[in-house]
Amino acid sequence: MAKPRLSKQDWLAAALTALAEGGVGAVAVEPLAQRLGVTRGSFYWHFADRNALLREALEWWEQQGTDAVIERVTEIADPRQRMRTLFRVAITEDPTSGLEPALVAHADDPVVAPVLHRVTERRLAFLTDGYTELGLPPAKARHQAVVAYAAYVGWVQLRRATPSAVPEITDDPDALTHLVEHLTS
């Protein structure tokens, strides 16, 4: 029976899942090939080495988890509704659960660091612009953006690390509504 033919995207998704589950060290060719049910040759068809896989996976995460989300919500004319939608999308449409806390935990990794830095800067700039549109002066808008982003990262980390201790963050629409309202009022 022939082995399945995997796309580059299959490898990228597997790398992000491994990173979310076990950190940067879990992104290794042999375990990923085993998880995908293929040989290492499939990997080398798409990537020169492990760092290329990690770099491309993170760039894909940056595009999908930041650029595409910003593009999607930018179409919303009302700034308050745009910000509410942004927070809801960011919290509820996480395709790789646990990825962001894993990235933050590996912020000193030479492959992770530049991508995480770009993503953080881009997200904070977008949030700052949103809070400015809501009427805050630029300095206060920046401070509110930092607070909101810290709340988001904390929410995601709690959901990953201690879901049973804080059940509101896993599946409580009222708690999510409260968070979103608090961040956009």
Q: What is the pLDDT of residue 56?
A: 96
CA atoms of 179 and 182, how far apart (whole Å):
5
Q: Terminal CA-to-CA distance of the chain, rounded, Å?
A: 59
pLDDT at 4: 62
Number of neighbours of residue 25 by Cβ within 10 angstroms: 10
Q: Taking the domains of the chain in order of start, what are their residue ranges?
A: 58-184
Q: 176 pLDDT exceeds 60? A: yes
Q: Is pLDDT of 167 > 60?
A: yes
- Amino acid, res. 39: T
Judge contact between 77 and 177, C-beta under 8 A. Answer: no
Position 153: which residue type?
V
The pLDDT tens digits of the residues spanning 94-131 come to 778 889 989 999 999 999 999 999 999 999 999 999 99
Going by C-alpha positions, the residue among 126, 144, 139, 137 that lies closest to residue 90 is 126
State the CATH class of domain 58-184: mainly alpha
Q: What is the pTM of this model?
A: 0.90
Q: Which tens digit of pLDDT belongs to each residue from 6-18?
A: 899 999 999 999 9
